[in-house]
Structure 1
Amino acid sequence: MSIIDVSPEVSLAYETFGDPADPPVLLVMGFGAQLIAWHEDFCRMLAERGRYVIRYDNRDCGLSTKFGDHPVDMGAFIAAVSAGDIPAALAMVPYRLTDMADDGLGLLTALGIERAHVVGASMGGMIAQTMALSCPERVLTLTSMMSSTGESEYGRPSPEAQAVLFTPKPADRDACIAAAERELVWASRRYGDATALRELAAAGYDRAYYPAGIGRQLGAMILSGSRADALRELRVPTLVIHGLDDTLIDPSGGRRTAELIPGADLLLLPDMGHDRPRELWPTLVDAVLTHTA
């Protein structure tokens, strides 16, 4: 694991797998999740089949730069958004998805990579879309996984999934690990794995427990608005992957993304939720490899 400056304000923690001479694939993780959520074995599967894989911690997560000087009161933020007081909500959040997209592009620049295939999951899919929209010349292909377009009528979470998402994580290590099982609410019905969720939570807690960043990332995601009009004009080759068991970002989010982006391919997986079960890695890896060929 290395840390590199990508701008005067932001340093990102990252890891690479494979041969730098191979086509680069940048993996962008989602809301509140560290780079380890892209499992090392998954990354190695891609690398062993001819891709130079880069995974990294977004700002305000893991070992990357934190914005602790801008605390966000989640209750006040949600109240402002719910009341339609967008100026108040905007004032609470110090950055947007465009800034997070600039981080990813800055990482590529710092690594000497001019163009890369970009794969984003969940909020990472939104960041990846924003990267492709802001600098299409630097994105060879886009893969948007279990994500959406920023339009409020698509990709809505179920009430149960939203309740889990907004429930604060316990500060105690054992309680935090046990609470990870709540995420089964949006996992694959067939392959949902409580043990794997607990193991990831334990690894994440020990590596960098930082719940304070969640509010700022959530604010960036909510306040960045709809990308619908811009996506209609996107000319980057795009693959959209979505699990039909997903209750955190409803599959309508994936369908809408593929509908808007000209020529996009849509892969709907019946046994995937808002997760990437190990049993589906061969399918996902094959899809990414085909798309990035």
Structure 2
Amino acid sequence: MKIKANNIDIEIEDTHPGDSTGRPVVLLIMGLGMQLIAWPPAMVQAIADAGFRVLRLDNRDIGLSQHFDHLGTPSLLWEGLKFRLGWRIRPPYSLEDMAADTLGVLDALNIAKAHVVGVSMGGMVAQRLAVLAPSRLLSLSSIMSSSGARGLPEASPAVTRILLSRPAGKGVQAAVDHTARLLKAIGSPGFPTPDAELRQKVAAAAQRSFHPQGVVRQMVAIAADSTRAAALARVTAPTLVLHGRADPLVPMACGEDTARRIPGARFESIEGMGHDLPPGVVERLLALLIPHFKAAATT
């Protein structure tokens, strides 16, 4: 379902549209280049079965939400060099803009407060939302994400090589092959996803929407967000930070740093978890998330 939020078109999925029973809302924000369908259906259903209304959205520039091709496609090489040198990066839009989109979703649906959950880049957007509109969060959950502080560990060399490489050819199939290779490299070693299943998910996402230019603009928005780490001291929502001990893309130290910067935040690590959401990881996340939602409702 498409709605107007923050004056742009945002695609959402709602487990209980128009709910008037007072069911608490959980808003799920996906990561870089990932669509709302990347949230495992079993995870969404389990949260709904626990008594919550679950909202998912395609972030701007991805999936079926509004694209921003008119803003141009930045050069990752040039923007990466500026990042390394500490120069100012001027992104086509910011993570704060994306946080305003999520706030706009709540406004459009007349939702006063929500439990906000973000993974990877989605965790960064969720952190920004917690700073932007603290009164609108029942709780914050930041998963496999980072504070964005300078000096934190970076992706492993093997993952970095894949990130900086290009697909072997042009077209959707080459992009699917490249994405599947990346997802395999960052996956959870303790909970491996079969190759055929991984490729099927990547192909389904590409069939729904194929928009690599949006991924580039989102990457630059991440690199440009240089003040979030300091701003996290202003987060007031009950916060849970979850991270995999085997994450090769966003090392666990990044999650630990996030938790240290948010007053009263709780940090939990998961053995064998990388940078994905296979069933075994989902099971362990749910065992921590649902009690967190319920505890936050009583504070």
The TM-score normalised by the length of structure 1 is: 0.93
The answer to whether residue 159 in structure 2 is matched with residue 157 in structure 1 is no
Shift of 1:101: 0.2
The answer to whether residue 76 in structure 2 is matched with residue 74 in structure 1 is yes
SS in structure 2 of the partner of residue 103 of structure 1: helix
SS in structure 1 of the partner of residue 71 of structure 2: coil
Shift of 1:83: 4.2
Q: Is the 8 A contact 1:147 1:155 kept in 2?
A: no
For residues 82 and 230 of structure 1, the distance between their equivalents in structure 2, rounded to whole angstroms, comes to: 22
Amino acid at match of 1:133: V
Amino acid at match of 1:121: V
For residues 170 and 242 of structure 2, the distance between their equivalents in structure 1, rounded to whole angstroms, comes to: 34
Q: Is the 8 A contact 1:181 1:198 kept in 2?
A: no
* 1:69-123 residue CA offsets vs partner (Å, 9 max, x unmatched): 122222332233334442xx31xx2211100000001001101101100000000
Structure 1: stretches of 5+ with no match in the other structure = none
Shift of 1:157: 1.2
Q: Is the 8 A contact 1:18 1:48 kept in 2?
A: no
Q: Is the 8 A contact 1:119 1:143 kept in 2?
A: yes
Shift of 1:137: 0.2
Name the CA shift for 1:46/1:66 in 2 (closer, same or farther; >3 Å). Answer: same
SS in structure 2 of the partner of residue 230 of structure 1: helix
Shift of 1:44: 1.1
SS in structure 1 of the partner of residue 69 of structure 2: coil
For residues 123 and 67 of structure 1, the distance between their equivalents in structure 2, rounded to whole angstroms, comes to: 18
For residues 170 and 35 of structure 2, the distance between their equivalents in structure 1, rounded to whole angstroms, comes to: 17
For residues 239 and 259 of structure 2, the distance between their equivalents in structure 1, rounded to whole angstroms, comes to: 8
Tell me the residue number matched to 1:135: 133
Tell me the residue number matched to 2:173: 174
For residues 75 and 263 of structure 2, the distance between their equivalents in structure 1, rounded to whole angstroms, comes to: 39
Tell me the residue number matched to 1:28: 29
Tell me the residue number matched to 1:258: 259
For residues 42 and 84 of structure 1, the distance between their equivalents in structure 2, rounded to whole angstroms, comes to: 39
Q: Is the 8 A contact 2:172 2:210 kept in 1?
A: no
Name the CA shift for 1:116/1:211 in 2 (closer, same or farther; >3 Å). Answer: same
Q: Which moved more, 1:62-71 or 1:72-81?
A: 72-81
SS in structure 2 of the partner of residue 292 of structure 1: helix
Shift of 1:185: 1.7
Tell me the residue number matched to 1:190: 190
* RMSD across aligned positions (CA): 1.6
For residues 227 and 127 of structure 2, the distance between their equivalents in structure 1, rounded to whole angstroms, comes to: 11
For residues 5 and 75 of structure 2, the distance between their equivalents in structure 1, rounded to whole angstroms, comes to: 28
Tell me the residue number matched to 1:5: 4
For residues 192 and 174 of structure 2, the distance between their equivalents in structure 1, rounded to whole angstroms, comes to: 20
SS in structure 2 of the partner of residue 290 of structure 1: helix
Matches within 5 A, 1:42-57: 42-57=43-58
Name the CA shift for 1:247/1:106 in 2 (closer, same or farther; >3 Å). Answer: same
Structure 2: stretches of 5+ with no match in the other structure = 295-299
Q: Which moved more, 1:127-136 or 1:74-83?
A: 74-83
For residues 66 and 208 of structure 2, the distance between their equivalents in structure 1, rounded to whole angstroms, comes to: 14
Instruction: Show structure 1 runs of 4+ deviating over 4 A.
Output: none
Q: Is the 8 A contact 2:114 2:136 kept in 1?
A: yes
The TM-score normalised by the length of structure 2 is: 0.91
Matches within 5 A, 1:94-105: 94-105=92-103
